[in-house]
Amino acid sequence: MPELLIELFSEEIPARMQQQAGENLLRLLTDALAPLNPVDARSYTGPRRIAATLKLDSMVPGRTISERGPREGAPEKALEGFTRKHGVNKDVLTLQNGFWVLEREEAPLAAAVHIAAVMPDLLRRFPWPKSMRWGNGSTMTWVRPLRRIVCLLDGQIVPFSMATAEDNGHHLCASNQTEGHRFLNPGVMDVHNAAQWQQELHARHVMVHAAERRQTITTGLNALAAAEGLSIVPDAGLVDEVAGLVEWPVPFLGQIDTIFMDLPPEVMQVSMRVNQRYFALRNSDGSAAPRFAFVANIIPTDDGSLVVSGNERVLRARFADARHFWNLDRKQSLASRVEGLNNITFHAKLGTQGDRTRRMVRLAGILAQKTGASQEHCERAALLSKTDLTTGMVGEFPELQGVMGGYYARHDNEHADVAQAISEHYTPRGPGDEVPTAPVSVVVGLADRFDMLTAFFAAGEKPSGSGDPFGLRRAALGIIRLIRENGLRLDLVEVFVLAAQALPELLRTAPDLALLPQFIAERLRVQLRAEGARHDCLAAISVDNEDTDIVRLLARAQALQTMLETEDGKNLLAATRRAANILRIEDKKDGPHEGMPDPALFQQEEERTLYTTLQTVEPAVEQAFAAEHFADAMRAAASLRQPLDCFFEVVTVNAPEAELRQNRLKLLSRLVRMMRLIADFSQIEG
């Protein structure tokens, strides 16, 4: 199959946009070239180019196209319009099923012709998060000025131009020329095929594979660090970003002046990462090392000492700025900053950060009583939790919210639990973060998130579709993890009601507040699905269940899952579904079939056995649920498996005698009602 190579060479593409651009290029090419059956599609991304290779058929096969026109008997003008549109006479039309139909043969089309026809439009509508215009004479946009287009089919140029009658398209035309590394190998090179393109660019110090650049960066940095008995602080996101900034990565280590080593390690790491894209290093004991790593995009003519010294000089200035904030912030205690929160708007409908802090203090005190944490420490930590928003360090590095508050609290000699809670109340920020276990930290973290969810839902800012500008889904997952991993027994509805009581009066009865328990339930199912757990079991025990104690719900769901994994559980599920289906069908005829069955009407031993077992199992299940012995409840329910199987094997539910049929349907109704105490088995998948 012929090989197609597309390369779009431009000025530097932002690193964060490269991967998506490569995926978009493949998607657009695959769709546009679908008649050529593209296979083996691969994308390549880098700072100055995105490219793709595909294999495809050499021809678009010929075909007969049938287009239906007006109905027979339609006004003559309708038929004239149809023929004029297609440039044909009425004589070539045929009548098929009451409609005029035009059938025309479309000749086979060479792949190069089809490619040349679709590429200009594909490139003009290429989706970038942000685009720019440049030069004169064209409205075409690109993420940065587009300089060259390589388009080769089996080594031959596929000729097309971006120009139109009214637009010069920046004079861009398909060619077989690209460029190597901007500094190490500038200049134009000819391209013959995909393999030669990769090899020649590599010889000209361009790695076209993002994965190769990432591997080179990781391996090189780790080797330099290991040579000095150090390790690189893991930062996959930074590796990805740097791989999008350099075409030929060359790693180096630099020295940090000892006068800056008393700065908090988080400050040093964030300053290096955000400002300079540097990597932090640590000693074998985990402490911050007086070294940093960076990646250059050139091979220095010396041993790199000039490059290293230049980067050290830049970092020295950055750390001097950080030290200024560090020293200045500690001159004012966190307690003295509380008043300043009244000057920071939290949300137009929800007041200031000061208003929010007061709500958090109240809620933290309530949650402390419910969880057994120190109320005094919880309220103090909540009071000071947002004060670092007024500091210079957090103003410069918002990523350090909470972290800096903890450092400043320890400097102010606040209680250790209070300082720790301020540091940890934003965690977990994501699925990979550890969950705080210190009681005060847990309470303040919950107060923060419960207030956030309640306040924004009341203000009409609930997430919609993929939009979640205030991170409310992340806040809900944080609540779930804090509760689950600390085994807290909280009634979510009660907590949301208590949180809403502190909102501005007009928002306390907002209709969206009623959606909060379901919002948490949906996030819980999402988390279980991500963990590979059976979220359908949670859905099954949640139907008609107003319980919002997450720990209890998960215990019930786990007990149900355990039962369904046994042979008895699987058979009981099947039999229960059969009973529910029979009842649903018969209820439509003359139901509902409610009430207690009459034992005197039983004619077969299997009816009596099932009834007797139900008489024993139902109270046992209710008692086990009341005591939260969910495994015992499931075992009791599983004991119904055998009598229920025997019942269906022998007993005819729809007996010809009306009274007997009614009695048997009542027996099944009681069975289904009892099983609904456990779960709605219609929610179970499979």
| Whole-number Å distance between alpha carbons of 52 and 526 | 35
- Between vectors from CA 532 to CA 526 and to CA 535, what angle results, nearest 5°? 50
What 3 state SS string does 427-496 have? Answer: CCCCCCCCCCCCHHHHHHHHHHHHHHHHHHHHCCCCCECCECCCCHHHHHHHHHHHHHHHCCCCCHHHHH
Gap between the Cα atoms of 461 and 348, Å rounded = 12
Contact 111, 2 (CB under 8 A): yes
Which of these, 546, 554, 544, lies nearest to 675 by C-alpha position?
544
User: Residue 329: which residues within 8 A CB-CB, separation 6 or more?
Assistant: 391, 392, 393, 404, 408
| CA-atom Rg of the chain in angstroms | 35
Residue 190 has pLDDT above 80, yes or no: yes
pLDDT at residue 686 tops 70: no
Q: Stretch 70-88: mean pLDDT, rounded?
A: 86
Cα gap 446→6, rounded to integer Å: 52
Checking if the pLDDT of 376 tops 90, the result is yes
Q: What's the pLDDT at 531?
A: 83
Averaged pLDDT, 438-451? 97
| Orientation angle between helical segments 439-458 and 416-424, nearest 10 degrees | 40
Question: Which contacts of 324-331 are long-range, i.e. CB under 8 A and separated by 24 or more positions?
Answer: 324/392, 325/391, 325/392, 325/393, 325/395, 325/396, 326/263, 326/264, 326/267, 326/393, 328/392, 329/391, 329/392, 329/393, 329/404, 329/408, 330/408, 330/411
Q: How far apart are CA 316 and CA 309, in angstroms?
A: 10
pLDDT band at 228 (very low <50, low <70, confident <90, very high): very high
| Average pLDDT for 481-500 | 95
- Which of 44-48, 81-85, 541-545 is the most confident on average? 44-48
Range in 159-173, 571-585, 598-612 with the lowest mean pLDDT: 571-585
Mean pLDDT, residues 277-283: 97
pLDDT at 261: 95
Beta bridge mates, 158: none
114 pLDDT higher than 70: yes
pLDDT tens-digit map of 297-323? 999 988 899 999 999 999 999 999 999
CA–CA distance, 277 with 299 (Å, rounded to integer): 18
Between CA 557 and CA 678 the distance in angstroms is 10
Whole-Å CA distances, 59 to 2, 103, 107, 108: 10, 22, 10, 7
Give the pLDDT score at 77: 87
pLDDT, the chain, mean:
93
Spatial neighbors of 553 by CB under 8 A, at least 6 apart, are 524, 538, 541, 542, 545, 547
What percent of the chain has pLDDT above 70?
A: 100
Distance CA 382, CA 172 (A): 60
Structural domains for the chain: 3-59+111-204 (no CATH), 63-106 (no CATH), 210-330 (no CATH), 334-532 (1.10.3210), 560-678 (1.10.730.10)
Residue 520's CB is within 10 A of a number of other CB atoms, namely 21
How confident is the model at residue 567, as a pLDDT? 87
- Check whether 616 has a pLDDT greater than 70: yes
Helix, strand, or coil (residue 44) = strand
pTM: 0.81
**pLDDT classification of 104: cutoffs 50, 70, 90:** confident
Return the pLDDT at 8.
Answer: 98
Closest CA to 481 of 407, 536, 516, 531: 531
Closest-CA residue to 329 (of 263, 383, 280): 263
The pLDDT of residue 488 is above 80? yes
Mean predicted confidence (pLDDT) in 425-449 = 95
